[in-house]
Structure 1
Amino acid sequence: MNQLNVAVDTVGVADATPDEKQPWAELGLKEDEYQRIREILGRRPTQSELAMYSIMWSEHCSYKSSRVHLRQFGEKNPRTPRLLAGIGENAGVVAIDDNIAVTFKVESHNHPSYVEPKQGAATGVGGIIRDIIAMGARPIAVMDSLRFGAIDHPDTARVLPGVVDGIGHYGNCVGLPNIGGETFFDPCYQGNPLVNALSVGVMPRSRLQSMQASGTGNIVILLGAKTGRDGIGGVSVLASATFSESGEDDARPSVQVGDPFTEKLLIEVCLELFDAGLVVGVQDLGGAGLTCALSETAAAGDGGMHVDLELVPLRAKGMEPHDILASESQERMLLIVDPAKADEVLARARRWGLLATAIGTVTDTGRLVVDFHGQTVVDVPPKSLADEGPVYHRPIAEPNDLALIAVDRAETLPRPTTDEEIRQTVLDMAASPNLCDKSWITEQYDSSVFGNTVLGAPHDAGVVRLDERTGVGIAISLDGNGRFARLDPYHGAQLALAEAYRNVAVTGATPIAVSDCLNFGSPEDPHVMWQFERAVTGIADGCQKLGIPVTGGNVSFYNQTGREAIHPTPVIGVLGVLEDVARRIPLGLGRTGDTIALIGTTGEELSGSEWAAVKHGHLGGVPPKVDLDHEMKLADLLSRLAETEQLAAAHDLSEGGLAQALVEAISHSGMGAQILLPEGADPFTYLFSESSGRVLVVIPRGQELAVRSACESRGLPITPLGVTDANTDGLHLRDHFDISRAEIDAAWKGRIGARLGE
Structure 2
Amino acid sequence: MIEQTAATIKAQELYANWGLTTAEYQRIQELLGRLPNFTETGLFAAMWSEHCAYKNSKPLLKQFPTSGQRILQGPGEGAGIIDIGDGQAVVFKAESHNHPTAVEPYQGAATGVGGIIRDIFSMGAQPVALLDSLRFGELDDPHTRFLLKETIAGIGGYGNCIGIPTVGGELAFDDAYAANPVMNAMCVGVLDTAMQQKGQATGAGNLIYYVGAKTGRDGIQGAIFASAEFNDQVEADRSAVQVGDPFMEKQLMDACLELIREHPEAVVGIQDMGAAGLVSSSAEMGAKAGYGMVLDLDAVPQREAGMIPYELMLSESQERMLICVAKEQAAVVEQLFAGYDLAAVKIGTVTATKQYQLFAHGQLVADVPITALVDDAPVYHRPQAVPQRLLAADPQQYRPEFTDAGRVLQRLLQQPTIASKQALYRTYDTQVKTNTVVAPGSDAAVIRLRGGRKALAMTTDGNGRYLYLNPEIGGQIAVCEAARNIVASGGTPLGITDCLNFGSPEEPESFYELAQATKGMSAACRALATPVISGNVSLYNESNGQAIYPTPMVGMVGLINDLDLITTQDFKHSGDTIFLVGATHADFNGSEIQKMLTGTISGALFDFDLTTELANQQLVQQAIQAGLVNSAHDLAEGGLAVGLAESCFGHELGAQITIDLPASWLFAETQSRFIVTVPAAKVAEFTKLAGALAQSIGKVIAAPELIIATATAQINLDVSASKQQWEAVLA
Secondary structure of the equivalent of 2:365? strand
Alignment partner for residue 731 of structure 1, among 697, 706, 710? 706
Aligned residue for 1:673, secondary structure, equals strand
CA drift at 1:582: 3.0
In structure 1, the residue matched to 2:679 is 700
- The answer to whether the Cα contact below 8 Å between 2:212 and 2:321 also exists between their aligned partners in 1 is yes
Among 589, 594, 600, the residue aligned to 1:607: 589
What is the identity, as a one-letter code, of the residue corresponding to 1:449? Answer: V
Q: Which residue of 662, 671, 683 maps to 1:682?
A: 662
Cα drift, residue 619 of structure 1? 1.3
Output the amino acid matched with 1:486: Y
Query: Normalised by the size of structure 2, how large is the TM-score?
Result: 0.97
Tell me if the contact between 2:172 and 2:417 (Cα under 8 Å) persists in the aligned partners: yes
Report the secondary structure of 1:409's partner residue. coil
Measured in 1, the distance between the counterparts of 2:617 and 2:11 equals 63
For residues 369 and 68 of structure 1, the distance between their equivalents in structure 2, rounded to whole angstroms, comes to 30
Contact 2:19–2:49 (8 Å) recurs in 1? yes
Aligned length: 726
Shift of 1:646: 1.4
| Alpha-carbon distance, 1:269 to partner | 0.8
Equivalent pair of 2:169/2:460 in contact (CA under 8 Å):
yes
Q: CA deviation at 1:19?
A: 7.0
1:248 aligns with 2:235: yes
SS at match of 1:450: helix
Cα distance in structure 1, aligned partners of 2:244 and 2:184: 17
For residues 74-153 of structure 1, the aligned pairs below 5 Å read 76-77=65-66, 79-153=67-141
Q: CA deviation at 1:266?
A: 1.1
- 1:410 and 2:398 equivalent? yes
Partners of 1:644 and 1:353 in 2: how far apart? Answer: 53
Identify the residue that residue 751 of structure 1 maps to in structure 2.
729
Instruction: State the alpha-carbon separation in 2 of the partners of residues 141 and 241 from structure 1.
Output: 32
Amino acid at match of 1:722: G
Q: Measure, in 2, the Cα distance between the counterparts of 1:710 and 1:356.
A: 60
Shift in Å at residue 20 of structure 1?
A: 6.5
**Residues 1:274 and 2:266 are matched in the alignment:** no
Partner Cα separation in structure 2 for residue 172 and residue 448 of structure 1: 10
Q: What aligned pairs does 1:328-727 form with structure 2 within 5 A after superposition?
A: 328-407=316-395, 409-411=397-399, 414-416=400-402, 418=403, 421-466=404-449, 468-678=450-660, 681-685=661-665, 687-712=666-691, 716-726=692-702
> SS of the counterpart of 1:529?
helix
1:203-352 → structure 2 map (5 Å cutoff): 203-244=191-232, 248-249=235-236, 251-275=237-261, 276-277=263-264, 278-352=266-340
Q: What is the CA–CA distance in structure 1 between the aligned matches of 2:483 and 2:719, rounded to whole Å?
A: 31
Report the Cα distance in structure 2 between the residues aligned to 1:698 and 1:286, rounded to whole angstroms: 46
How far off is 1:604 after superposition? 0.8
Contact 2:397 2:606 in 1 (8 A): no
Spell out, residue by residue over 1:395-420, the C-alpha distance to the aligned partner (whole angstroms, 9 max, x if none). Answer: 11111221222436323xx512x4xx
Q: Is the 8 A contact 1:408 1:620 kept in 2?
A: no
Which one-letter code corresponds to 1:749 in the other structure?
E
Shift of residue 729 of structure 1? 2.6
CA shift in 2, pair 1:459/1:610, >3 Å? same
Separation of aligned partners in 2, 1:565 and 1:204: 42
Q: What is the root-mean-square deviation in Å for CA atoms of aligned residues?
A: 1.7
Deviation at 1:254, TM superposition (A): 0.7
3-state SS in 2 of match to 1:25: helix
Amino acid at match of 2:414: A
- 1:517, 1:556 within 8 Å by CA — same for their partners in 2? yes
Q: How far does the alpha carbon of each residue in 1:538-577 deviate from its partner, in whole angstroms, 9 at most, with x for none?
A: 1112111222211120111111111111111111112111
1:52 aligned partner? 43
Where in structure 2 are the equivalents of 1:144-163 lying within 5 Å?
144-163=132-151
Aligned residue for 1:738, secondary structure, equals strand
Identity of aligned residues (%): 41
- The AA in structure 2 aligned to 1:290 is L
Question: Would the aligned equivalents of 1:18 and 1:44 in 2 still touch at CA under 8 Å?
Answer: no
Distance 1:624 1:664, change over 3 A: same
Counterpart CA distance in 2 for 1:320 and 1:348 is: 30
Q: State whether residues 390 and 604 of structure 2, in contact with CA within 8 Å, keep that contact through their aligned partners in structure 1.
A: no
Task: Kindly indicate whether residue 179 of structure 2 is the aligned counterpart of residue 199 of structure 1.
Answer: no
User: Residues of 1 paired with 2:580 and 2:125: CA distance?
Assistant: 39
Q: Which stretch shows the higher mean deviation, 655-664 or 639-648?
A: 639-648
* Alignment TM-score, normalising by the size of structure 1: 0.93
Unaligned runs of 5+ in 1: 1-5, 754-758
After TM superposition, give the deviation of residue 644 of structure 1 in Å. Answer: 2.7
Cα offset for 1:690? 0.5
- Residue type at the aligned position of 2:685: A
Q: Does 1:63 align with 2:49?
A: no
- SS for the counterpart of 2:388 is coil
Q: Distance in 1 between matches of 2:652 and 2:413?
A: 18
**C-alpha deviation, 1:599, in angstroms:** 0.7
Distance 1:638 1:349 in 2: 49
Cα offsets for 1:115-162 (capped at 9, x unmatched) = 000000000001111111111111110100000001111210221101
CA apart distance, 1:72: 1.0
Confirm or deny: 8 A CA contact 2:228 2:540 kept in the other structure.
yes
Q: Separation in 2 of the partners of 1:474 and 1:627?
A: 28
Q: Note if contact 2:652-2:704 (Cα within 8 Å) is conserved in structure 1.
A: no
Whether the aligned pair in 1 keeps the contact of 2:278 and 2:314 (CA below 8 Å) is yes
Deviation, 1:21, is: 5.1
Q: Secondary structure at the match of 2:16?
A: coil
Is 1:184 aligned to residue 160 of structure 2? no
| TM-aligned CA deviation for residue 379 of structure 1 | 0.6
Match of 1:407, SS state, is: coil
Q: Secondary structure at the match of 2:393?
A: helix
Secondary structure of the residue aligned to 1:369 is: strand
Deviations 1:238-281 (A, max 9, x none): 4313133x7522x1111000000111111111111111212110
Shift of 1:18: 10
Q: Which runs of 5+ in 2 are unaligned?
A: none
- Could you say if the C-alpha distance between residues 469 and 237 of structure 1 is closer, same or farther in structure 2, counting changes exceeding 3 Å? closer
Instruction: Find the aligned partners of 2:235 and 2:73 in 1 and give their Cα distance.
Output: 38
CA shift at 1:621, angstroms?
2.1
Q: 1:428-454: per-residue Cα shift (whole Å, max 9, x none)?
A: 100111111111111111111111111
The answer as to whether partners of 1:215 and 1:302 remain within 8 angstroms in 2 is: no
